[in-house]
Amino acid sequence: MKIPKEIVGVLKKETVFFLATHINPDGDAIGSALALASALESMGKKVYVYNKDRIPELYKFMPGHKRFNSSLKNAFTKAPVLVLLDCNSPERAALEQYSFRRSIVIDHHQTETAYGDVRWVVPGAAATGLMIFFLIKAMGVALTKGMATNLYTAIVVDTGTFRYSNTSSEVLITCAELIKAGADPSYIAECLYDRWEKDRFKLLVMTLNNLEIKNDVAMMHITKNMFQKTGTSSEDTENFSNFPRQIKTVKISAFFRDVGGGFWKASLRSKGNINVAKIAELYGGGGHRNAAGFKTRGSLKAVKEKFLLAAEKILRN
């Protein structure tokens, strides 16, 4: 993977950095930020790591996860350089109200904005964590076990543990290097997939019970009442959107989560060359060809009907 010289130059020259990821962070965002923070600190840099939302319980096995701050107090005292990771607009990181003297964007999403003084956006990259792996090597920093664990997690989350079409030889070769550096595939897989709380499993059962399939399109939802009944929260829904993909006939799936105020957050998944990012863009959202999302307002019935029309149009084309 080719690394822009300008990115390496800025990271080596500057001394204070503000690393931020998208709201509702996933494994790729978390792992990328933590690994880059460790690499920069090994070079003597001052690093502040931010996310508006707390780290989901699922990812609290990742080394250094406690260093994420949800407060901006003291974050701007030394005029840091902003580094946006796994997103390419300040709005996605809840930073639209703030300005930075310099900004860097490192991302792999298909939906782009023009934000960033220095931009490195590679939509073809399987994960931002993959990009950070090559960036750390270009910076001349040796991988630690913690970095390797975080980057391996980032990559396996965004490749569905090597099940998705973005799993390339580059991905597998990189992960082999990360294993050599200390990442433990068995331990990471157990943490990601085999440590569910009983209440989370109850929530999944309730969610699957409202699954609808129409014309190769699957839809399911979670309401505030379902969270209350099971004693769970939004972070317990991680990976729920992937389950309908396992049905042979399903080509597009949507998972709608009630976020209050009449709004629904939709997570979209698809197979093959079906581009659900195009659907998300209709609602002001975005993402990847096979994984995207958006937020919309309306009754659940109206939201589903509108989405179904858009999905069926994509399938026809």
Nearest to 125 by CA among 113, 109, 114, 105: 109
- In the prediction, which pLDDT does 111 show? 75
Token couple for 254: 């949507």
Q: Are 181 and 143 in contact (CB under 8 A)?
A: yes
Q: Which residues lie below 8 Å from residue 5, measured CB to CB, with a gap of 6+?
A: none
Distance between CA atoms of residues 315 and 296, nearest Å: 21
For Cα atoms 74, 79, 85, give the angle at the middle one, nearest 5 degrees: 85
Burial of 11: CB neighbours in 10 Å, binned 0-12, 13-18, 19+:
buried
- Assess contact for 246 and 281: CB atoms under 8 A: no
241 and 255 in contact (C-beta within 8 Å)?
yes
Report d(CA 7, CA 12) in Å as an integer.
9
Closest residue by Cα to residue 287 from 92, 59, 83: 92
Sequence ranges of the domains in the chain:
5-192, 201-316
Instruction: State the pLDDT at residue 246.
Output: 92
Query: Which tokens in the block code for residue 295?
Result: 């937020």
pLDDT by 10s per residue, the chain, length 317: 899 999 999 999 999 999 999 999 999 999 999 999 999 999 999 999 999 999 999 999 999 999 999 999 888 989 999 999 999 999 999 999 999 999 999 999 987 788 999 999 999 999 999 999 999 999 999 999 999 999 999 999 999 999 988 999 999 999 999 999 999 999 999 999 999 999 999 999 999 999 999 999 999 999 999 999 999 999 899 889 999 999 999 999 999 999 999 999 999 999 989 999 999 999 999 888 899 999 999 999 999 999 999 999 999 98
5-192 has which CATH code? 3.90.1640.10
CA angle 249, 250, 256 (to 5 degrees): 160
In a 13 Å sphere around the CA of 53, the CA atoms on its Cβ side amount to 18
Query: 217-222 and 252-260: which strand pairing?
Result: parallel
Distance CA 107, CA 293 (A): 16
Q: What does the alpha-carbon distance between residue 112 and residue 286 come to, in Å, rounded to a whole number?
A: 8
pTM equals 0.91
Q: Would you state the CATH architecture of domain 201-316? A: Roll (3.10)
